[in-house]
Chains A and B, each alone.
Chain A
Amino acid sequence: MMSPSEPTSLFSNYSVGNVFFDEMFRPDGTPRNACKMLHDALNDISIEEMRTMQEHAERFFLHEGITFAVYGNDGAQERIIPIDLLPRILTPKDWRILDLGLRQRLNALNQFLGDIYSAKKILSDGIIPTDLVLGCPQYRPEMRNINHPHGSFVSICGTDIVRTFGGFKVLEDNLRVPSGVSYMLANRQAVKSSIRDLFRRHRVRKIEHYGQALRQTLVEMSPNNKADPCIVLLTPGTYNSAFYEHLFLAREMGIELVQGEDLSVRRGKVFMRTTRGQRQVDVIYRRVDDDFIDPLVFRKDSLLGVPGLFSAYALGNVTLVNAPGTGVADDKSVYAYVPEMIRYYLSEEPVLANVETYLCRYPEQLEYVLDNLDKLVVKTVGGSGGYGMLVGPHATVTERAAYADVMRENPANYIAQPTLDLSCSPCITTSGVAPRHVDLRTFLLRAEDTRIVPGAFSRVALREGSLVVNSSQGGGGKDLWVLSK
């Protein structure tokens, strides 16, 4: 028993449970081998010191303008994504599995996209139901028979991974305009400057070359292998919640950050308005959703896109990264078939498992889901950001009943998954250091080569017991250290 005057160590009140995998501790409460040095060093720091460092880190975020926009009744507000300074550690072995599994998955997903927009063999062979793919709102018939350099429809991928006692599992593949990489890099910067000595003592693999790797990927995506292509990043503008990231990436790569109004299409080519006239653009890293990129082809009311852009792209005069229509492969129903895609295209067993998924489009699975709503998490197939989902165990009977009624109206719009035993990691909270649920978003790049930086944006559900890690739902982030040995 400690006397009231005795200073408490950082982990003195930390409780390790048996239900969730703890990233730092074994079930018996001793630190895992890879985390021992970090644990022991942190134990010498008081919670007050840690909180002071945390405040400094938050101030750093605010002054650097590492913010995202939140819109409410009182207009847009700039907010920082809360950072938790206690890093999460992955061993070289952990990372080898992820690296292998993620490359395998992205390869298969790209082959799938190339296939469904051309021969559709996977559909005719009955591996995936045709209506599931062709009826998906994210399937773009306009993409039929359009070739992409290196067969890379998805060049930039952000895959969400969770860990349970059963190992790593893929929660979802973000194949349209995945965000978060700037927060991975900002978290690293903040953590490095806050606990510099600790960082130095660990052999943490570097992630700072992401900007170069991204630029090289975009260069490789240029039409006709042009040696020095003109690359731009297309942003919806300052009001987009990820605008900071768009700026950050443009700066890291040394490319222009453009909005729709800066571009125009003439004779099937895309031009950028410069102070010295029009300059042809070869590669567009677009952070604008499919629906808005070209009002002549997609949404007519879009003010964010460029009229004629899709035609220039279809003619092969400009590359759009990622390609339009990639959303069909990260649709939550199609997700359930990714292990089958891997077997079909690569003749390999998946390295990373999926989360068990029920497709409510099938009556027997719908029935099971409705009977077990209190145990399941239900999501809309095209949803993201944690919006529109039902976390069954946390919902009231009335909420579940209301949600079931809505599901019955359009069952194909829903999938369900068991409540995941997301792993926990120590976090700084108002009541000391306590376990909070975490996942991680990895960032893969694919063109001529596939590149993956050894790191991730580890998202944290900051509320006690919460499993929702999305930043739009109050989640935060922490640095992830991939050890080199």
Chain B
Amino acid sequence: MLARSANGLFWMSRYLERAEHTARLLITQFEAMEDRSVEEIDLSWRRIYLAMGRPPAGGDLSSNVENEDFMLMDAYTLADDLTFELVNSDSIRSSMYFARENARQIRNVVGRQFWTNLNSAYLELKNSRIEYIWINKPKNFYANQENNARTLSGYLDSSMYRDDGWHFLQMGRFIERTQLIAALLVSQIKVFSTDFNHQDSTWISLMVLCNARLAYRRQRSLFSINPRHVLEFLISDTAHPHSIHYSIERTIEHFAAISTGEARAELTAISRQLKSQLRSVKKNWRSRSMTDVQICENLQNLLSSNRETYSEIESAYFFN
């Protein structure tokens, strides 16, 4: 496959994953605004921005947490930033814009139906404004955005030929997912800590963010939520598609499919690096005695290693 097309598929898929994730962050946030305390809502915004590694739009969030009006005004500004701001590379519009720009260049690879749906979804988003969303059930709007991104991935799953292009697309999806989940867990721990008093709802919302609520219940059958169990599930479960373990394992599989039959040293190094990431996920979660700080350190190490892996894939395949 043409290296530039592979790069386009890889990034298109990353941006779609990111758009879906940001939409889910906002759904959860608007759900929280229905019945949670102002303090918890404020902390949830912090969780989002800390995970993205960027300051909130309009500056620090340390406003008067007792004031409901401030909470609403902040929510309006922050939702606008996370939905429409083009300079915020995590905003839904920005992610969809870049997914579309990548897809536009490889329309001969992705198929007409996928392109038309992506283009329509983007044009609809481009013509929306926060003021209209705000008065028209914002949660529904974000649910639609999440659905759009999922449907688009579904089109690709059901129609794409399983050649190298497909494997690059899947690698993009799972590398992005690993990074999004790892960053979210770090910020969850930093903002709420695993022994936070009013933790149930925040840990439930974390599971919703990782599409894990149902799967967790089925596996654990616990009456109350234990943050350590939630973390363990989201990091090391082997069957949940939004766990870190699952995402790294799929990345390894797709990478193996691409690199089969090639004896390049740099490919062997990438493979070794990915396997080492998987080993560290397995090993570290055998110990439940770690402090929050240690968990965060491990996750951050994983994040750096994962980013490094991407750079190596980039130089081995896209800019070789």
Contacts and interface: CB of A to CB of B under 8 A. Distances in A.
Partners in one complex: yes
Interface of A: 62-65, 238, 247-248, 250-251, 254-259, 261-262, 272-277
A257 B2 CA distance: 8
A320 B83 CA distance: 46
A275 B1 contact: yes
A251 B320 contact: no
B161 to A, nearest CB: 11
B107 interface: yes
Interface in B251-277: 258, 262
A63 B2 contact: no
B115 interface: yes
B164 interface: yes
A275 B105 contact: no
9 closest residue pairs by CB, A with B: A251-B108, A250-B108, A247-B107, A256-B2, A273-B3, A63-B120, A275-B6, A275-B317, A65-B119
Contact of A238 (B105, B168, B258): B105
Nearest to A237: B105
B294 interface: no
Contact of A257 (B108, B120, B317): B108
Contacts of A255: 108
Contacts of A277: 320
Contacts of A250: 108
A251 B3 CA distance: 17
Contact of B107 (A63, A65, A258, A275): A65
Given A256-B2, A274-B3, A275-B164, A251 B123 contact: no
A248 B111 CA distance: 10
Contact of B2 (A64, A238, A251, A274): A274
| Of B3, B101, B106, B164, most A-chain CB atoms within 10 Å | B3
B104 A262 contact: no
B77 interface: no
B4 A259 contact: yes
A65 B119 CA distance: 7
Interface in B97-119: 101, 104-108, 112, 115-116, 119
B257 to A, nearest CB: 11
B116 A63 contact: yes
A259 B3 CA distance: 11
B116 A275 contact: no
B5 interface: yes
A259 B5 CA distance: 11
A453 B295 CA distance: 66
Given A248-B107, A251-B108, A254-B108, 16 more contacts: A62-B123, A64-B112, A64-B115, A65-B116, A65-B119, A238-B105, A250-B108, A257-B5, A258-B2, A262-B3, A273-B320, A275-B1, A275-B164, A275-B168, A276-B164, A276-B262
Contacts of B116: 63-65
A273 B2 contact: yes
A65 B115 contact: yes
A272 B3 CA distance: 9
A64 to B, nearest CB: 6
Contacts of A247: 104-105, 107-108
Nearest to B165: A275
A276 B164 CA distance: 9
Contacts of A64: 112, 115-116, 119
Contact of A63 (B6, B123, B320): B123
Contacts of A273: 2-4, 320
Interface in B222-244: none
B119 A262 contact: no
Q: Find the residue from B105, B108, B115, B317 having the highest chain A CB count within 10 A.
A: B108
Interface of B: 1-6, 101, 104-108, 112, 115-116, 119-120, 123, 164, 168, 258, 262, 317, 320
Contact of B104 (A65, A256, A261): A65
Nearest to B2: A256
A330 to B, nearest CB: 28
Contacts of B168: 275
A256 B165 CA distance: 12
B87 to A, nearest CB: 16
Contacts of B4: 258-259, 261-262, 273
Contacts of A258: 2, 4
21 contacts: A63-B123, A64-B115, A65-B115, A238-B104, A247-B108, A248-B107, A255-B108, A256-B5, A256-B108, A257-B2, A257-B106, A258-B2, A259-B4, A262-B2, A273-B3, A274-B1, A275-B164, A275-B317, A276-B1, A276-B262, A277-B320
Contacts of A274: 1-3
Contacts of B2: 256-258, 262, 272-275
A194 to B, nearest CB: 17
A274 B319 CA distance: 10
B83 to A, nearest CB: 21
A254 B5 CA distance: 13
B258 A275 contact: yes
Nearest to A65: B119
A447 B195 CA distance: 76
A39 B312 CA distance: 64
A128 B318 CA distance: 51
Contacts of B3: 262, 273-275
Nearest to B316: A275
A187 to B, nearest CB: 16
Contacts of A272: 2
A262 B1 CA distance: 11
Contacts of B107: 65, 247-248, 251
A307 to B, nearest CB: 18
A259 B120 CA distance: 27
Nearest to A278: B320
Nearest to B258: A275
A259 B106 CA distance: 12
A100 to B, nearest CB: 35
Contacts of A238: 101, 104-105
Nearest to A258: B2
Residue among A65, A247, A248, A261 having the largest count of chain B Cβ atoms under 10 Å: A65
A309 B73 CA distance: 60
Nearest to A255: B108
B170 to A, nearest CB: 14
B238 to A, nearest CB: 29
A64 B123 CA distance: 11
Contacts of A261: 4
A183 to B, nearest CB: 16
A428 to B, nearest CB: 24
B262 to A, nearest CB: 7
B175 to A, nearest CB: 16
A23 B116 CA distance: 34
Contacts of B108: 247, 250-251, 254-257
Contacts of A62: 123
Nearest to B103: A65
A63 B126 CA distance: 13
